[in-house]
Amino acid sequence: MERFPVFAVLSAVAAVAGCGGGSSRGGDGAGMPPPSAGLDSRPQNLTCVAPERLSGPGAQIALEPIFDSLGFNQPLGLLQAPGDDSRWFVLEKPGRVRVFANDPNVAAFDTDFIDLSLSFDVNSDSEGGLLGMAFDADFASNGEVYLSWTESSNPMISVVARFTSIDGGLTLDPGSRDDVINVNQDFANHNGGHIAFGPDGFLYAGFGDGGSGGDPNSRAQDTTNLLGAMLRLDVDGGTPYAIPAGNPFAGNANCPANHSSASACPEIFAWGLRNPWRWSFDRDSGVLWAGDVGQGAFEEIDRIEVGRNYGWDCREGFSNFSSPAPSCATAGGLVDPVHAYGRSLGTSVTGGFVYRGTAIPALAGDYVFGDHGSGRIWRLVEDGGGGYTAEELLDTTLSIASFAEDLDGELYVVDIAGGIHALVDAGGPGIDPEPVADLLSATGCFDSQDPSEPASGLIPYAVAAPFWSDGADKQRWLAIPDGTTINVAADGDFQFPPGSVLAKHFRLDGELIETRLFMRHPDGGWAGYSYEWNAQQSDAALVIGGKTADIGGQDWAFPDDNQCLSCHTAAAGSSLGLELAQLNTSLSYPSTGRAANQLETLDAIALFTSPLGDPSVHPTLADPTGMQGTIEERARAYLHTNCAQCHRPNGPTPSSMDLRFQTDLSATGSCGAAPQSGNLGIANALIVAPGEPDRSVLLERMSRRGDAAQMPPLATNSVDQLGVDLIRSWIEALSGC
């Protein structure tokens, strides 16, 4: 499972050297391949086929009431402080933050953290009140907390303010109020109000369109006001805030509360939202997911990215809104939701979280959300084609105000009627997360007597530009069911039939440490499985849930399934590494002892749906560690193979880079571009600063491990120093974009 994203850029690379021979084809033993082919025939594959996954009506979960000895007054939110799971904080709509011990038997609240209604004119009418709370990452040392609420009337004003604790974090001092931003609300509904710090360290605030249904003035489409938008503020960089350089309208004058700006608001991160009610950052990928409440027909789930327009009130869900504003006639570039549902299922969406806990394995990596009106709870499941389907998990009687995530990634539901519930595993099958054998020797993909050797139906392959895998050496094989073929997409990516298996051995210092199987199951979905080798090197056992182990003094990460899918993105075709440019290189085939071009060999044994023809007409990638190719070609090959699976159109990252090798450097959104996820303390930072590697955030992220800024973000604990040196030299050599 090639799975290690970085962030990268590539341009078209040099053509391949000719491989000789013709392109005559033989399949399943029929005909003779050309003498230059590495295999004589396609091997029969009877044993290495991805199995069916057990499926039921859904992942079997239940809601377990907790803390039911406490009484809450219209709770809207539940959260824990950074690094402290000993307490819970509950936001009550009238303005109070209540605190209690994280103890199932807790019988009483601690002292109130703060009650805004005692000091300020909190307006909790309609959809107003205390709506959001965010702890500063350094709360344990600086005592700073941000609150979002509505106050006053005529107009109602949305306030985001900083408060400080003066008693070691037990309470907040009302007198420390320091307003960050105010936004006038035209009506008492569609206030949004949720706030959170992103993985880039900036404060995000989501506001609705100001209420009153479809607005003829199209507030959400008018970027000269702060309504109907997701804002992003650097609260540590200025007074009361600075504008992150990556915001789409950075450089304009800050917008006032009364919407009287003459230019687009620099605070805006994205716009075109009706009422973003609860949103969250995926703690693994950093992707921002939001529930956006609809008007009269559709509720929607959006994946929010910088500079994007999510369509309201030109569109509702995937459809044109029934009464669009006149400006919608010329509006372009509107982004569709990832999912929408009609009023037969619910009336007011409540955004949730991507599940990253361990208690419910069947939910791993799925986005969980609900509906305030119907009480239903769903998860989104990737459909294998770049989209999502919703699977109902529960039909409850709750009025779901929020979901919550504890420090371990477990999820909770907040009922505005006064209850808190934990999502727990009910023991049902759902989608079986581990349908494969417990031992590698029993999978059918490796020799049952010597699982270090592949089964006879596997075909070896190698990539021109290998992924960085913490210094491990790798062997790779592919297997597809008999009678099937591989389609090649227009961009050169291999599209595998259901039942296919990709396999890989990892070795450190010559010892097998891990084998990964990446399978496309008969239902069309991909999943990854990791096997850990024993000390005797006689077999490998399935690792469930991922882990990190000390291998010869090196921390080695065994990924879990959702981590595999975080990197094997649908946008990149899922398989990774299996594309024309990567396989347009020579390989020595053990079964024949012949070295031959891989594309020509696979073509000769009829593995492709349509013949490829002469390999020299197809692109190739330079070996980043080799001597062939220019430094530009080698650097961009490295970045393509390690990063472009995420940093490309429709990829899962919150940035807007397109880092595929087909993309010209000037169009990648990286060269000369301001960072969109923080500058990491670098003065005048750019993602790639031509000639100045020390100003380049891309290089800094590659050089880090052990913090949220590292790239790749998952399953790597060691910096690729050769890769860092290569990218540094490439940036130094750049004279422009």
Q: What is the pLDDT of residue 620?
A: 94
Contact between 391 and 59 (Cβ < 8 Å) = yes
Q: What is the pLDDT of residues 494-512, one digit of tens each?
A: 999 999 999 999 999 999 9
Average pLDDT over residues 271-278: 96
Q: What is the pLDDT of residue 559?
A: 87
pLDDT band at 154 (very low <50, low <70, confident <90, very high): confident
Strands (E), 38-172: 61-66, 75-81, 84-92, 96-101, 114-115, 130-135, 144-151, 156-164
Average pLDDT over residues 62-84: 95
Q: What is the pLDDT of residues 157-182, one digit of tens each?
A: 999 999 999 999 999 999 999 999 99
Sign of CA dihedral 259, 260, 264, 267: negative
Contact between 230 and 169 (Cβ < 8 Å) = no
Q: What is the pLDDT of residue 58?
A: 52
The yes-or-no verdict on residue 3 having pLDDT over 60 is no
SS (H, E, C) 254-267: CCCCCCCCCCCCCC
Q: What is the pLDDT of residue 327?
A: 77
The yes-or-no verdict on residue 73 having pLDDT over 70 is yes
Average pLDDT over residues 682-688: 93
pLDDT band at 570 (very low <50, low <70, confident <90, very high): confident
Q: What is the pLDDT of residue 31?
A: 52
% pLDDT > 90, the chain: 72
CA atoms within a 13 Å half-sphere pointing along the CA-CB vector of 201: 18
Q: Which two tokens stand for residue 270?
A: 């994205």
Separation of alpha carbons 659 and 641, rounded Å: 10
Q: What is the pLDDT of residues 688-721, one digit of tens each?
A: 999 999 999 999 999 998 776 788 877 788 999 9
Q: Which two tokens stand for residue 281?
A: 């950052």
Separation of alpha carbons 357 and 405, rounded Å: 9
Separation of alpha carbons 659 and 48, rounded Å: 34
φ and ψ at 729, to 5 degrees? -65, -40
Strands (E), 406-452: 411-415, 419-425
Tell me how crowded residue 347 is: count the other CB atoms within 10 A of its CB. 14
Q: What is the pLDDT of residues 301-353, one digit of tens each?
A: 999 999 999 999 899 999 988 777 777 877 778 999 999 999 888 999 999 99
Separation of alpha carbons 272 and 328, rounded Å: 11
Alpha carbon 596 to its chain's center: 38
Tell me how crowded residue 698 is: count the other CB atoms within 10 A of its CB. 28
Average pLDDT over residues 425-450: 82
Amino acid identity of residue 461, one-letter, is Y
Burial of 502 (0-12, 13-18, 19+ CB in 10 A): buried
Rg (CA), the chain: 27
Mean pLDDT score of the chain, rounded to an integer?
A: 89
pLDDT band at 1 (very low <50, low <70, confident <90, very high): very low
The yes-or-no verdict on residue 432 having pLDDT over 60 is no
φ and ψ at 41, to 5 degrees? -160, 165
Separation of alpha carbons 72 and 683, rounded Å: 47
Start-to-end C-alpha separation, the chain = 33
Cβ within 8 Å of residue 553, ≥6 positions away: none
Q: What is the pLDDT of residue 430?
A: 46
Tell me: cis bond preceding 713? Omega within 30 of 0 counts.
no
Q: What is the pLDDT of residue 15?
A: 26
Q: What is the pLDDT of residue 214?
A: 43
Residue 379 DSSP SS3: strand
Separation of alpha carbons 549 and 197, rounded Å: 31
Q: What is the pLDDT of residue 647?
A: 86
% pLDDT > 70, the chain: 91
Average pLDDT over residues 118-138: 95
**H or E element at residue 563:** helix 561-567
Q: Which two tokens stand for residue 118?
A: 């005692």
- Higher pLDDT residue, 15 or 195? 195
The yes-or-no verdict on residue 354 having pLDDT over 60 is yes
Contact between 567 and 4 (Cβ < 8 Å) = yes
Q: What is the pLDDT of residue 361?
A: 87
Residue with tokens 């770049």: 386
SS (H, E, C) 272-303: CCCCEEEEEECCCCCCEEEEECCCCCEEEEEE
Q: What is the pLDDT of residues 84-127, one digit of tens each?
A: 999 999 999 999 999 999 998 899 999 999 999 999 999 998 89
Q: What is the pLDDT of residue 20?
A: 28
The answer to which of 338-347, 428-437, 461-470, 721-730 has the lowest mean pLDDT is 428-437
The yes-or-no verdict on residue 459 having pLDDT over 50 is yes
Taking the C-alpha atoms of 122, 125, 128 and 131 in order, what is their torsion angle to the nearest 10 degrees?
70
Contact between 316 and 278 (Cβ < 8 Å) = no
pLDDT band at 217 (very low <50, low <70, confident <90, very high): low
Separation of alpha carbons 336 and 553, rounded Å: 48
The yes-or-no verdict on residue 410 having pLDDT over 60 is yes
The yes-or-no verdict on residue 129 having pLDDT over 60 is yes
The yes-or-no verdict on residue 292 having pLDDT over 60 is yes
Amino acid identity of residue 256, one-letter, is P
Q: What is the pLDDT of residues 254-266, one digit of tens each?
A: 999 999 999 999 9
pLDDT band at 36 (very low <50, low <70, confident <90, very high): confident
Residue 727 DSSP SS3: helix
Average pLDDT over residues 259-287: 95
The yes-or-no verdict on residue 224 having pLDDT over 90 is yes
* Packing angle, helices 631-643 and 721-733, rounded to 10: 130
Alpha carbon 400 to its chain's center: 25
Burial of 509 (0-12, 13-18, 19+ CB in 10 A): exposed
